[in-house]
Amino acid sequence: MVQSTAEASPAKWHLAHTAWFFESFVLREFLSGYRLFNADFPWLFNSYYQSLAPFPEKRLRASFSRPGLDEILRYREHVDEAVERLLGRNPEPEALRRIELGVNHEEQHQELLLTDILHAFFTNPLRPVYLDKDAEAEGLTTRSKNRDIGRPLGFHQYEGGLREVGHKGEGFCYDNELPRHRVWLEPYALARRLVTCGEFAEFMADGGYRRPEFWLSAGWMAVQSNGWRAPLYWTSESGDWSVFTLRGELPLARLETTPVSQVSYFEADAYARWAGRRLATEFEWEAAAENSVQNSAEIQPGNLLDSGRLTPAPATELDQNQGIAQQVGDCWEWTASAYLGYPGYRPETGALGEYNGKFMSGQMVLRGGSCLTPATHIHSSYRNFFAPETRWQFSGIRLASG
Ligand SMILES: [Fe+2]
């Protein structure tokens, strides 16, 4: 039941809330005779749906010492059993659509569950290790400084022109990925891999966090007020930096070629300015992803949750030579795009309209999924979004130019 930051939620809450979603949006509306597991749960595990019921303050979720975990697990069984009963009754298409939404919602929480555990373990003075496996044996760290660091970062050129963005096809998408529409792109280039920890350390060594000329005004204020001097999980003792991961504490010296993560939009933007580049727009990113799908030589397998690595991995030489490495997985990529509705966007009707639409203010879009995103969850038009000062996600940096 640990909640180590107001942004995170306790593991127990994630388990209950994902069941609550099915109960609230599927069972109570579509399964006649559905019996609530507990009359308090409809408001207790509501996250932010104002039109459904009141809900407890988010930052106080860890104060729920009751219900205990056993009761939460029984709640999940109760809901699972009811969903199966509904599926056996040939439910109407809207019920099936809501179940699919509930599955995708739960996949989002699978990622958040691990993100929040990492934060909880980081703040625990004992620094527990979530996955006790040798990172080096899996090629996630390097013992000596890799020659790739000294090599100039390569860029892949795109023609631009009139392109279509937004979801197409039959598969699942959220309302914020629609409607598909045209955008105009000037010619641009994307870096062939993500910015590494080694490169980010060079930015720091060059006074990156002390030089306001690289920062947006709000970003510089965030640096000052939060005392930022490194990414969230970097700590230093006597000048040697370490990075806390789900595999425990790793020395920065062994992460030279590993993508940097847990940086805010402000840090990503400042790094890009320092490097003489910029961040891509979300449409440049998506057009590049659709290019990759059409040109099989450019498809890169992603380091997603299913790989079991639970941490970003260095890009291979081969991946970078073939096109854009790490476009899917490893780290969510901050884009330069504010999170807005597409032309003609209509939020869902009813309480589900609160899922995405009401957050279209003060947030930036991230693309591509991370090492904690389930493989079935991510696709090229998928739009993640967070406030620009957010750092506890696996959020990283891909440079763009042009
Ligand atoms: Fe949720």
Residue 314 CA to ligand 1 center (angstroms) comes to 31
Neighbours of ion ligand 1 (CB under 5 A): 47
Instruction: Kindly state the percentage of the chain with pLDDT values over 70.
Output: 94
Residue 9 CA to ligand 1 center (angstroms) comes to 10
Residue 387 CA to ligand 1 center (angstroms) comes to 17
Residue 353 CA to ligand 1 center (angstroms) comes to 13
Whole-angstrom distance, CA of residue 33 vs CA of residue 173: 30
Please tell me the pTM assigned to this model. 0.94
For the stretch 228-257, pLDDT in tens is 999 999 999 888 999 999 999 999 999 999
- 67: preceding bond cis by omega (within 30 degrees): yes
For the stretch 102-147, pLDDT in tens is 999 999 999 999 999 999 999 999 999 999 988 777 777 776 555 4
For the stretch 161-174, pLDDT in tens is 999 999 998 889 99
Whole-angstrom distance, CA of residue 36 vs CA of residue 116: 28
Residue 182 CA to ligand 1 center (angstroms) comes to 31
For the stretch 144-159, pLDDT in tens is 555 455 467 899 999 9
Check: CB of residue 31 under 8 Å from CB of residue 56.
no
Residue 26 CA to ligand 1 center (angstroms) comes to 14
The amino acid present at 33, given as its one-letter code, is G
Residue 287 CA to ligand 1 center (angstroms) comes to 29
Residue 106 CA to ligand 1 center (angstroms) comes to 7
The amino acid present at 331, given as its one-letter code, is C
Residues 6+ positions from 202 with CB-CB distance below 8 Å: none
Residue 45 CA to ligand 1 center (angstroms) comes to 9
- Least confidently predicted of 57-66, 169-178, 186-195: 57-66
Residue 17 CA to ligand 1 center (angstroms) comes to 7
Check: CB of residue 270 under 8 Å from CB of residue 215.
yes
301 pLDDT higher than 70: no
Residue 16 CA to ligand 1 center (angstroms) comes to 10
pLDDT at 136: 76
- Residue 140 CB-density burial (10 A; 0-12 exposed, 13-18 middle, 19+ buried): buried
Residue 203 CA to ligand 1 center (angstroms) comes to 36
The two tokens of residue 325 are 């490495």
Average the pLDDT over 351-376 and give the result.
94
Pseudo-torsion of CA 231, 116, 285, 330, nearest 10°? 80
Residue 64 CA to ligand 1 center (angstroms) comes to 17
Average the pLDDT over 74-78 and give the result.
98
Among residues 103, 105, 37, 47, the alpha carbon closest in space to that of 75 is found at 37
Residue 29 CA to ligand 1 center (angstroms) comes to 18
Whole-angstrom distance, CA of residue 259 vs CA of residue 369: 13
Residue 47 CA to ligand 1 center (angstroms) comes to 6
The amino acid present at 235, given as its one-letter code, is T
